[in-house]
A and B are shown apart, each in its own frame.
Chain A
């Protein structure tokens, strides 16, 4: 932030490229901005730049580690092979289903949990800490504990619903997987939403209630708009992670009965099949699917996305 008399915070439109004269303040602001971002950018690009480019490059090649002599550039034929594979679309459908259902449930539950964590009068520290424990447990251990709980031979939940062996039935096992996901990651949403709640000015809420707003109106008209950026972050990152679900499915059903996800299929092709070409292709496809979701979210939330605010005053 410059020290000159010109307040750099006037909502001047960003200078067009090629415009010759930039004010001192603007130049200093740009320098500072670039300087502050540089370390983060350098770290991120240094670590992932080559791996991502290499992965995309591999997806254009036919490359099986066990047949190194057959390696050759094949353009997009890997993509054709994957996109015309029945298994891929089944896994895609299952993944999309699990993602949509679990994220919706988590958003609602997360909001309720956030409200409770934020406003409870009793044992606030305890509730906040305890609510985060599911997210803090190692995923594989939590998945195993659900596995043992639902397993017909060893578990305390198996007899609960009268079904014979819930983990061997497609619908029941999908429900169990979603339950495990929701239980584990709702705290992630709740934490971000709670921090978003912390931004809502108290006096605004008091003013609203004095003006006669009901609790629901206060929620939708006062809290939600202020929380929009936090909601975007929570939804975006949770959806990105939900789409790449692996551990819970792997432990609970190993993907049997068509409950496999796209990540599991990628793992099978890349690591078990050592087919770097197809595996990388699947990774890129997953990335594209996730990017589309992210794009939709960012468009929906508009100005709440980071960086969309040109730095003007609120």
Chain B
């Protein structure tokens, strides 16, 4: 690049023009109140927003500010901006495990009065508990999610009801040379913690105390470790278990030459397999997640909508949030985006469209009645990182020493000491 003064000035001028043009273009016209909702990218959420804007009748306009697709990315962006007191955020789309953390950091506005009643009305118990912290309501539930047991009824006409049955069936099928693998998310990430949490809850055990201040790791939790190790080391799972996230689990079952007989995954796999493997889809059935003495207590996932403490339009934000997760909105999202509702009345057997999109709705509703939640604590992220690291790879678990390690490291995390792996 020549550095003669004339050219440099020209370059600088061109640069300045470009910059000015871009900033002008960026300025949108803002007449009236704008409510920014920060939410994960969901294909049809914009339609829900458009509908709520219509119902608002000009009082405010909801604008969809997308966050990255992965949950960690969403949290990172929101935390950075909330820590700086950014007033641009009005409504926050929070994964169910983030509410205690955000609430304790004083980033969320509490729901009170009529808004609170509306947000709690007819909401299933499991999802509702994820929106509360210290007996206060900090968010309105938007959608939930539970895993089911999926199987091929040409391979196993009756699905197993307990893990013991499933393990025995898998070994049996393997010796017969049929598809046999039990697929679940075993990579070193949140999915593994979800699986473990489900096992602990099914055993009736506890990882943390109820107030979330101390580590318990009782007999149920240790039994869950034993079971996890057994499943992972008996040769009845996918060899890529420690690299498997939801999509890998789903694809392993859909493959034309799949060796899988049982899949533990979220309901989205039903729609996915219709396109991916129509032949196997014909025999693709679901059942309740297996437990220990009966059906298991499944861990709920899902998203809640909270109002930022730094929002400049709080009353409108509460109203907008209530609309975005109203029964109609939840029904629309359930049918078009495949996210199960949290409001009980939406689970209607007479609703033909709903049933068509959710043939498994009854099983989901049953599971939600008896669901488990992940430990509700401010330091959940630390918990999750530590647990997924200590439990990886599941084959190497030794129930007693792994439990001791977890007890030690989780307690350090609760006391805000120690270093994360």
**Do chains A and B make direct contact within the complex (CB under 8 angstroms)?**
yes
* A interface residues with partner B (beta carbon < 8 Å): 64-68, 70, 81-82, 85, 87-88, 151-154, 164-165, 167-168, 253-257, 260, 265, 268-269, 271-275, 278
Do the beta carbons of B381 and A274 come within 8 Å of each other?
Answer: yes
Collect the chain A residues with CB atoms within 8 Å of residue B382's CB.
272-273
Do the beta carbons of B393 and A257 come within 8 Å of each other?
Answer: yes
Do the beta carbons of A65 and B105 come within 8 Å of each other?
Answer: yes
Do the beta carbons of B381 and A278 come within 8 Å of each other?
Answer: no
Which residue of chain A has its CB nearest to the CB of B260? Answer: A153
Q: A253-B243, A255-B188 are in contact. Are A68 and B420 (CB under 8 A)?
A: no
Q: A87-B421, A272-B72, A273-B381 are in contact. Are A151 and B416 (CB under 8 A)?
A: no
Collect the chain A residues with CB atoms within 8 Å of residue B83's CB.
65
Cα–Cα, bound, A275→B417 (Å): 10
Tell me if B240 counts as interface (CB < 8 A to partner A).
yes
Do the beta carbons of B240 and A153 come within 8 Å of each other?
Answer: yes
Do the beta carbons of B419 and A278 come within 8 Å of each other?
Answer: yes
Collect the chain B residues with CB atoms within 8 Å of residue A271's CB.
72, 76, 79
Q: Can you list 26 A-B pairs, Cβ within 8 angstroms, ordered by A? A: A66-B105, A66-B379, A67-B378, A81-B417, A81-B418, A85-B418, A87-B389, A153-B255, A154-B248, A167-B243, A168-B239, A253-B188, A256-B392, A256-B393, A260-B421, A265-B419, A265-B420, A269-B419, A269-B420, A271-B76, A272-B72, A272-B385, A273-B381, A273-B385, A275-B416, A278-B420
Do the beta carbons of A65 and B243 come within 8 Å of each other?
Answer: no
Do the beta carbons of A164 and B188 come within 8 Å of each other?
Answer: no
Nearest Cβ distance between residue B193 and chain A, in whole angstroms? 13
Interface residues of B in 183-212 (CB under 8 A from A): 187-189
Nearest Cβ distance between residue A240 and chain B, in whole angstroms? 24
Closest 4 pairs (CB-CB, A-B): A256-B188, A165-B240, A165-B239, A87-B421
Nearest Cβ distance between residue A91 and chain B, in whole angstroms? 8
Tell me if B53 counts as interface (CB < 8 A to partner A).
no
Cα–Cα, bound, A257→B187 (Å): 10
Nearest Cβ distance between residue B33 and chain A, in whole angstroms? 30
Tell me if B242 counts as interface (CB < 8 A to partner A).
yes
Collect the chain A residues with CB atoms within 8 Å of residue B381's CB.
272-274
Cα–Cα, bound, A271→B420 (Å): 11
Collect the chain B residues with CB atoms within 8 Å of residue A88's CB.
419
Which residue of chain A has its CB nearest to the CB of B102? Answer: A66
Collect the chain A residues with CB atoms within 8 Å of residue B189's CB.
254
Most buried by A among B187, B239, B255: B239
Collect the chain B residues with CB atoms within 8 Å of residue A164's CB.
239
Cα–Cα, bound, A212→B224 (Å): 75
Cα–Cα, bound, A256→B105 (Å): 31
Cα–Cα, bound, A269→B252 (Å): 33
Do the beta carbons of A168 and B416 come within 8 Å of each other?
Answer: no
Q: A154-B251, A274-B79 are in contact. Are A165 and B385 (CB under 8 A)?
A: no
Cα–Cα, bound, A85→B393 (Å): 20
> How many residues on B have C-beta within 8 angstroms of the other chain's C-beta atoms?
35
Collect the chain B residues with CB atoms within 8 Å of residue A253's CB.
188, 243
Tell me if B37 counts as interface (CB < 8 A to partner A).
no
Tell me if B241 counts as interface (CB < 8 A to partner A).
yes
Collect the chain B residues with CB atoms within 8 Å of residue A165's CB.
238-240, 243
Do the beta carbons of B240 and A167 come within 8 Å of each other?
Answer: yes
Cα–Cα, bound, A152→B392 (Å): 19
Q: A87-B421, A153-B255 are in contact. Are A68 and B105 (CB under 8 A)?
A: yes
Q: A154-B251, A273-B382, A274-B79 are in contact. Are A67 and B416 (CB under 8 A)?
A: yes
Do the beta carbons of B421 and A256 come within 8 Å of each other?
Answer: no
Collect the chain B residues with CB atoms within 8 Å of residue A275's CB.
416, 420
Q: Mark B377-397, 1 if CB is under 8 A from A, else 0.
A: 011011001000100110000
Do the beta carbons of B188 and A87 come within 8 Å of each other?
Answer: no
Collect the chain B residues with CB atoms within 8 Å of residue A274's CB.
79, 101, 381
Do the beta carbons of B419 and A87 come within 8 Å of each other?
Answer: yes
Do the beta carbons of B242 and A85 come within 8 Å of each other?
Answer: no
Tell me if B319 counts as interface (CB < 8 A to partner A).
no
Tell me if B362 counts as interface (CB < 8 A to partner A).
no
Do the beta carbons of B242 and A168 come within 8 Å of each other?
Answer: yes
Do the beta carbons of B392 and A257 come within 8 Å of each other?
Answer: yes
Beyond A87-B420, A165-B243, A268-B420, 7 additional pairs, beta carbon < 8 A:
A66-B416, A153-B248, A164-B239, A167-B243, A168-B243, A256-B243, A256-B392
Q: A151-B240, A153-B248, A274-B79 are in contact. Are A70 and B416 (CB under 8 A)?
A: yes
Tell me if B293 counts as interface (CB < 8 A to partner A).
no
Collect the chain B residues with CB atoms within 8 Å of residue A82's CB.
419
Collect the chain A residues with CB atoms within 8 Å of residue B416's CB.
64, 66-67, 70, 275
Which residue of chain B has its CB nearest to the CB of A167? Answer: B243
Collect the chain B residues with CB atoms within 8 Å of residue A68's CB.
105
Do the beta carbons of A66 and B248 come within 8 Å of each other?
Answer: no
Most buried by B among A67, A87, A274: A274
Tell me if B55 counts as interface (CB < 8 A to partner A).
no
Do the beta carbons of A151 and B242 come within 8 Å of each other?
Answer: no
Cα–Cα, bound, A67→B382 (Å): 13
Cα–Cα, bound, A274→B378 (Å): 11
Nearest Cβ distance between residue B192 and chain A, in whole angstroms? 9
Q: Mark B220-253, 1 if CB is under 8 A from A, else 0.
A: 0000000000000000001111110000100110
Nearest Cβ distance between residue B313 and chain A, in whole angstroms? 25
Collect the chain A residues with CB atoms within 8 Å of residue B238's CB.
152-153, 165
Which residue of chain A has its CB nearest to the CB of B101? Answer: A66
Cα–Cα, bound, A87→B385 (Å): 13
Nearest Cβ distance between residue A32 and chain B, in whole angstroms? 12
Nearest Cβ distance between residue B387 and chain A, in whole angstroms? 13
Do the beta carbons of B239 and A254 come within 8 Å of each other?
Answer: no
Tell me if B42 counts as interface (CB < 8 A to partner A).
no
Interface residues of B in 356-408 (CB under 8 A from A): 378-379, 381-382, 385, 389, 392-393
Q: A154-B251, A168-B239 are in contact. Are A81 and B419 (CB under 8 A)?
A: yes
Most buried by B among A153, A273, A274, A275: A153
Which residue of chain B has its CB nearest to the CB of A163? Answer: B239
Cα–Cα, bound, A163→B381 (Å): 34
Which residue of chain B has its CB nearest to the CB of A252? Answer: B243
Cα–Cα, bound, A67→B213 (Å): 14
Collect the chain B residues with CB atoms within 8 Å of residue A256's CB.
187-188, 242-243, 392-393
Which residue of chain B has its CB nearest to the CB of A170? Answer: B393
Cα–Cα, bound, A265→B83 (Å): 21
Tell me if B104 counts as interface (CB < 8 A to partner A).
yes
Cα–Cα, bound, A256→B242 (Å): 8
Cα–Cα, bound, A82→B420 (Å): 9
Collect the chain A residues with CB atoms within 8 Å of residue B101's CB.
66, 274
Most buried by A among B240, B255, B420: B420
Which residue of chain A has its CB nearest to the CB of B250? Answer: A153
Do the beta carbons of A153 and B251 come within 8 Å of each other?
Answer: yes
